[in-house]
Amino acid sequence: MRIGILFGGACEEHPVSVKSAKEVAKHLDTEKHEVFWIGITQSGAWRLCDGPEPEWEGRPVVLSLDSGFRGLLVLDEGRYEEIGLDVVLPVLHGKLGEDGAVQGLLELSGIPYVGCDVQSSALCMDKSLTYLVAAGAGVATPTFATVLAHEDVDPGRFTYPVFVKPARSGSSFGVSKVSGADELRSAVEIARQYDSKVLIEEAVAGHEIGCAVLGNDADLVVGEVDQVALSHGFFRIHQESEPESGSENATFIVPAEIPARSRALVQETAKVVYRALGCRGLSRVDMFLKDDGTVVLNEVNTLPGLTSYSRYPRMMAAAGLPLGEVIDRLVALAGTVR
């Protein structure tokens, strides 16, 4: 297989994507596959390079949108060199990576690709839309309200504490926990630095639980359920200065220390959410497990982190699927959806 791997990206999650790509490079079987690395700089330039480094150099490259040729066009001394591809693996996070933008480009290119399609990516990126679809499938979600660009918010209408989030952003960039009405407007402005649409949702009391899902349609594999154990504050993924050495306020327990019945419910709920949103390939479904045993959806990550410290590969490894095997399965699945 000739695999094009996209990494980097013109968004705040660029450094995380590079780390994910480095981990993929360690586990990808280069005897099975011929790999072409396409790094996207923070300014949005595409470069064919030797691999995922924090700073890379390479030749300018674009995807061919001509259905007669599926692959890369590499600019070399005023001429284009053609490199055919069998599949593209986007190792991208956040805006322009898992929101449907690059998926649309890949649809136009005609090249099979790993992960969710345009519609599913866009739905999962917008947390308010995620909640609406999940609720329609019978899954519990937090009570929430949206605040659009230039729209004022009435702090008196909410019961505190609440979480204020960019509706369409990755990780926990721009997220605030608001304990009182006097903090709400400033939290909304912080969230607006990342998205013009802001979500205000109730703070759900319960354990933060995650479930990794792999597969297409009815044939799904779920990883071991994990649990986020907090010492203080709230979980802020990828916000630490040195996440490889651990989070400043959270540890991850795999498998989660929950009853077997709750574990089964979390895994089944993750599959219901995955199918309702039209996910394919892979996703990480994050939920809350309340003290009464009920499960409430938090969010869905359609291209979850694959770094050495990320949750998705840990959950799959605990279920007996190391990252190398996960990658092989994802590449094989990409070729079955077109």
Catalytic entry in 16, 61, 188, 225: 16
Which secondary-structure segment (H or E) carries 228? strand 226-230
Catalytic residue check, 19: yes
Catalytic residue among 70, 95, 207, 238: 238
Tell me which of 77, 244, 261, 338 is the catalytic residue.
244
Q: From the candidates 19, 197, 271, 329, which is the catalytic residue? A: 19
Decide if 113 is catalytic: no
Q: Which residue has the tokens 């154990």?
A: 229
Q: Which one of 33, 70, 197, 284 is the catalytic residue?
A: 284
* Rounded Cα gap, residues 26 and 21, in angstroms: 9
What is the phi/psi pair of residue 69, to 5°? -140, 120
The catalytically annotated residue of 93, 127, 197, 280 is: 93
Question: Is 305 designated active site?
Answer: yes
Q: Is the dihedral of CA 160, 130, 138, 270 positive or negative?
A: negative
Helical pair 260-276 and 127-136, crossing angle rounded to 10 deg: 110
Known catalytic residue at 78: no
Residue 185 designated active-site: no
Query: Sign of the CA dihedral 52, 54, 58, 64?
Result: positive
Annotated catalytic residue within 204, 305, 326, 331: 305
Question: Which residue, chain included where needed, has tokens 């709230």?
Answer: 234
Active site (annotated) includes residue 14: no
Distance between CA 20 and CA 303 in Å, rounded? 10
Among 113, 194, 274, 309, which one carries the catalytic annotation? Answer: 309
Q: Report the catalytic residues.
A: 16, 19, 93, 238, 244, 284, 305, 309
